[in-house]
Chains A and B, each alone.
Chain A
Amino acid sequence: MKSLGVRAGLLSVLLFVVFCAAWQLAVTPSASTGPALDPEYAKLMGISTAGAKSAMPGPLDVAAKLWDNLKRPFYDNGPNDKGLGLQLLYSIGRVALGYALAVVVAVPIGFLIGMSPLAYRALDPFIQVLKPISPLAWMPLALYTIKDSALSAIFVIFICSVWPMLLNTAFGVGAVRKEWLNVARTLEVGPWRRAFTVILPAAAPTILTGMRISIGIAWLVIVAAEMLVGGTGIGYFVWNEWNNLSIANVIVGILLIGVVGMVLDLILARLQKRVTFPE
């Protein structure tokens, strides 16, 4: 009896193969439709009837394109022709900047809000209104005030990552068990030391949950933001390839967006695991 992991892995591979086969089958024109097309007409339209291909690429085309892109990920031939790796780096860089900014702002402010029931009550209505706003709705305002599309994209990332972290930090800090705080009090631990040695470790799992939600949202939003703003980034790449009608490249882009998103989530999951403590 093989372990569950091995069996699950085999099943995954099988599903992948079946999916690719179905995909390939779906895009290969069947023999019956071939002759239905008048060869003369087809010739006029610039399609060869022998071994005709639909516009939708199959898995092999995508794999070939992917390989092409992976071979030279960082070339730069001007604004509309950059390596995929380069485009991804642009996106990751924007996310990293906006996200880091959000961490720097949200965690300390969340800390203060969590420690003070008054601040929590006072700020709650604002947070409740601001939180559900789609980050892209900020875009025009950002473009108008910042007057720089690159910075605006970073701002949008910032604004969408800030809320989950802010709320989770405030909640985690507010929910620190009283007995742990009492331990610190009986040991005459000062406020700074208490914040870093008791409250922060106790709230860390909740804070990291917020950070993990935020990175997910940030990665979702950057693609849309780059489609709007244009210029560079994986979102722009996908949009640009759509304009070029290169569906294979679009699919490659989609795939890579998924992979990077997964990696980002994995990193945060690792960190989360590290700060989580069993009780």
Chain B
Amino acid sequence: MAERVNAERFISIEGIARRYPAAGGSFTTIFENLWLQVPRGEFVCIIGHSGCGKTSVLNILAGLETPSDGVVVVDGQAIEGPSLDRAVIFQGHALLPWKSVIGNVAYAVSSRWRKAGRAEVEERSKRFIDLVGLKGNEAKKPAELSGGMRQRVGIARALSIEPKILLMDEPFSALDALTRGTLQDEVRRICKSTGQTVVMITHDVDEAIYLADKIVLMTNGPEAMVAEVVENPLPADRRRDSIHREPDFYTVRNHLVDFLVARSRTFKDEKPAGYDPRRPPLVRLGEPVAPPPINTIPFPAVATARD
């Protein structure tokens, strides 16, 4: 039983807050009383407008910042500071520019396995450089790489330490559409094949739909909250080139865009009855939460037809 609870709440964000001192001795609350659970092996995307506190949440998960209130429990243990169990892929790649590609990855590997021999570290670093498709670029310095290649090194570095959790802060936002697509494919392939637990922040609705198992919607700051958690109804074997033909694609997409356009702003004042910040509603699109009145067509029709 305890096993199961741990798997369901592999990451458990419990009432965290982030406040900054404001002028006049008061505080600005970026968010407070924020609760969220992420089961083991799940890919979760957090979306929300700029400035709502997504990076703060991720940094707290990483242990780089301590919350003003509340705790984060990972695998049954409250986190205190950064850990090799939680790898971070930073928004601005954050490679060490004086180290080569392999040097950057090896730095992580040798930090994870401190007693590992040189050959072992090198072999492992090479394997992960291959995995992200950078074979042959081991000796290059980050300055000699394109933006996409740098982000790949960041991914290789994060994956090479076999973290329990992968945390990503808008990893692809600085890339062109084509590169972004390829990298999304790779990240999805790698994470699916290893059952990696991932929390990723993004601005991009389509990216969230393609990658995530669950999408967390954050309302606008200040005093942002988790409005709801949307379960992604698309099949697990979805493919980038045909995703827009999935029956539920536009249902999810419209739901997310509607949220970003309107509800992220108004949610605060129009909270649904029974909204409990401790248990943000889990929304299953295409399968209405409450049983629908008998004389209405279930929404959306296609989704039900398929079932």
Evaluate contact between B96 and A201: CB separation under 8 angstroms.
yes
Which A-B residue pairs are the 8 nearest by beta carbons?
A: A278-B143, A187-B111, A277-B98, A179-B94, A186-B82, A185-B82, A277-B97, A201-B98
Residue of A nearest to B92 (CB): A179
Asked if A186 and B141 sit within 8 Å, CB to CB, the answer is no
Q: Which of A180, A186, A278 contacts B96 (CB 8 A)?
A: A180
Contact of A188 among B64, B88, B107, B111 (CB under 8 A): B111
Residues of A near B141 (CB, < 8 A) are 277-278
**How far, in angstroms, from A188 to B64 measured CA to CA in the complex?**
11
Q: Are A187 and B84 in contact (CB under 8 A)?
A: yes
Provide the bound-state CA to CA distance between A202 and B142, in Å.
Answer: 14
Q: How far is the CB of A276 from chain B (nearest CB, A)?
A: 9
Q: Which of B45-88 contact A (CB under 8 A)?
A: 62-64, 81-84, 86-88
Give the shortest distance, in Å, between A175 (CB) and chain B (any CB): 14
Size category, A interface: 10 to 19
Chain A residues, Cβ within 8 Å of B172: none
A59 to B182, CA, bound (A): 70
The answer to whether B111 and A189 have CB atoms under 8 Å apart is: yes
Contacts of A183 in B (CB 8 A): 90, 94, 96
A186 touches B143 (CB 8 A): no
From A187, A202, A277, A278, contact of B112 by CB (8 A) = A187
Counting contact residues on chain B (CB < 8 A from A), the size range is: 20 to 34
Question: B residues near A, CB below 8 A?
Answer: 62-64, 81-84, 86-88, 90, 92, 94, 96-98, 107-108, 111-112, 141-143, 161
Q: Is the CB of B82 within 8 A of A188?
A: yes
Give A142-200 interface residues, CB cut-off 8 Å to B.
179-180, 182-183, 185-189, 197-198
Binding site for B on A (CB under 8 A): 179-180, 182-183, 185-189, 197-198, 201-202, 204, 275, 277-279
CB distance from B96 to the nearest CB of A (A): 6
In Å, the complex CA distance between A198 and B99 comes to 10
Bound state CA distance, A277 and B141, in angstroms?
9
Set of chain A residues within 8 Å of B88, measured between Cβ atoms = 182, 186
Of the candidates A180, A186, A189, A279, which one forms a contact with B86 in the assembled complex, judged by CB atoms under 8 Å apart?
Answer: A186
Q: What A residues does B87 contact at CB under 8 A?
A: 186
In Å, the complex CA distance between A189 and B142 comes to 21
Cα-based distance from A189 to B161 in the complex (angstroms)? 13
Provide the bound-state CA to CA distance between A111 and B11, in Å: 38
Whether A182 pairs with B94 at a CB distance below 8 angstroms is yes
Structural contact, B111 and A182, CB atoms closer than 8 A? no
